[in-house]
Amino acid sequence: MSADVIGLSLLVLGVLLLVAKLVRIRSRIAQKLFLPSSIIGGFLALLIGPEVVGSIAEAIGGPDAPLTGGLWPEEFLDVWASLPGLLISVVFATLFLGERIPKVKEAAELAGPQLALGVTMASGQYVIGLLLAVLLLVPFLDQDPMVGALIEVGFEGGHGTAAGLGDTFAELGFPEGQDLALGLATVGVVAGVVVGIALINWGVHTGRAEVLESDAKTSLAEQRGLYEREEQKPAAMLTVRTASVEPLAIHFAVVAVAILLGLALLEALQALERLLWADTVELFEYVPLFPLAMIGGVAVQKLVDRFDRTGIVDRQMMLRIQGIALDLLIISALATLSIQAIANNWVTFLLLAIAGLAWNVGVFVFLARRMIPRFWFERGIGDLGQSLGVTATGLILIRVADPNAATPAMEAFGYKQLAFEPFFGGGLVTAASLPLIAQFGAVPLLVFMAVLLIVSLGIGIFYFGRRSPAEEEARVADT
């Protein structure tokens, strides 16, 4: 494939993103749902591709009719299909770059209840999904046992993780799993905002939300995804002089080092596995690069914390790199989504979606208040958003529920990510779950996740939950 084709396909993604942003500005439905422009753009690309326009053209005029492949050249689709597996490593490598890694005690005091709730939601997604697989989906619908991991991959992991695991799904003989996971991720993002906003209104009217007034509303600019001119702010800081090197370029170089460290670690683990136990079980052979890229990012940040005295790595710049990678990833993943794969497995898809939604909402409504002593609603709503969609969904809901940062919800949510992201939502546990199920079946992982669920519930309810609100507030203040 020529460089010209690759470059042109990337330019088309940029145009799609711009058109999608204009749709977000003009569409009240998209504004009310807080739909990211990348998801709108992905659906636009999907609609005019072979899965929708192409299928309609073939149904009307036969296999030789014009537009049976949609409006996109096949070469574009090939490029877009390969992008998610590359870009997801950039997203995960930047998770902690530019962010001070806090001391364990400092993070634990503030984020402990949050982490217990997050692990409860994530491990429960595995338990619910694997139970469905063992009791119903595998014996009666002839599904692959790996279907039991799709709720966590799609909901907690989101589009990026679902797309990034495409090669793993294919290598393990379950290629339709990626399409189902991407479909679940789309359901999760939309439901995360719709259900989250509905729950915030419920919390305000029932007095469960402590800081939000009943007449509080998001501004029109926020709904359109814009800043008013007087509210506009710098996208990042210039930490090096442009006469020596472009600041964006030096941050890209730091990301590159993090990803290469992750690649070296992955290859070392694969070599060790081949040397010692590959004849019995293969795990790292199917683990993708992105969770190791995240570990590489943590290692690089620790070095920066230790030796950098000038503040060369800017967090906001890293977020900009992460953001563009994630936007392009989501558009390209949705553009190459197989609607036929979801249609062929619609019963499975529907059962997983309903079960996942019911579990996450149930944990928030009935358990969050028993695990987080103070400001449980404002702090729990962020975990609900993340467990249904992506981290950004959780941040949106926290912003709506606590617009003036009157609670420690945002800080607790951020600290919790340091212990949570390396394992769930695209971390090591998410990546390892598929090969583990493929080689050992669903039951061993179900047992492990059930034990983890019980432990996280116990710690949340009987340790953190027994603190009085005053005691919790004093601990947070001391930290």
Residues 188 and 388: beta-carbon distance below 8 Å: yes
What tokens appear for 90 in the block? 């950039």
Ranges of the chain with pLDDT below 50 = 215
How much is the pLDDT for 215? 47
Residue 411, both tokens: 């800080």
- Among 401, 362, 367, 366, CA closest to 381: 401
Angle 319-294-101 (CA atoms, 0-180°, nearest 5)? 70
Q: Give the Cα separation of 200 and 401 in Å (integer).
A: 6
Q: Residue 285 and residue 276: Cα distance in Å, rounded?
A: 13
Which pLDDT belongs to residue 427?
Answer: 79
d(CA 356, CA 291): 23
Give the whole-angstrom CA distance, residue 58 versus residue 138.
33
Tell me what pLDDT residue 399 has.
Answer: 74
What 8-state DSSP symbol labels residue 390? Answer: -
Per-residue model confidence (pLDDT) at position 200: 86
The CA distances from residue 345 to 40, 85, 177, in Å, are: 24, 24, 10
CA distance 95 to 420: 12
Q: Cα 346–347–350 angle (5° rounding)? A: 80
Interatomic CA distance for residues 393 and 413, integer angstroms: 12
Dihedral sign (CA 385, 390, 394, 396): negative
- Mapped onto helix, strand or coil, the DSSP state of residue 211 is coil
Q: Taking a C-beta distance cutoff of 8 angstroms, is the pair 9, 80 a contact?
A: yes
The pLDDT of residue 107: 67
φ, ψ at 318 (rounded to 5°): -65, -40
The tokens for 251 are 């941050």
Q: So what's the pLDDT on residue 394?
A: 79
User: Exposed/middle/buried for 448, CB within 10 Å: 0-12, 13-18, 19+?
Assistant: middle
d(CA 92, CA 161): 10
> Which 3-state string (H, E, C) describes 314-349?
CHHHHHHHHHHHHHHHHHHHHHCCCHHHHHHCHHHH
Amino acid 479: pLDDT: 54
pTM, two decimals, is 0.80
Burial profile 205-223: b = 16 or more Cβ within 10 angstroms, e = fewer: eeebbbbbeeeeeeeeebb
pLDDT at position 446, please?
97
Q: Where are the alpha helices (DSSP H) in 207-345?
A: 220-224, 247-276, 290-307, 315-335, 339-344
Helix residue spans in 71-214 (DSSP H)? 74-93, 104-132, 138-141, 150-151, 158-164, 166-171, 176-206
pLDDT at position 380: 93
Q: What length does the chain have? A: 479
The pLDDT of residue 386? 86
Phi-psi map region of 340: left, alpha, beta (phi>0 left; psi -120 to 50 alpha): alpha
- The answer to whether residues 342 and 46 touch, using CB atoms and an 8 Å cutoff, is no
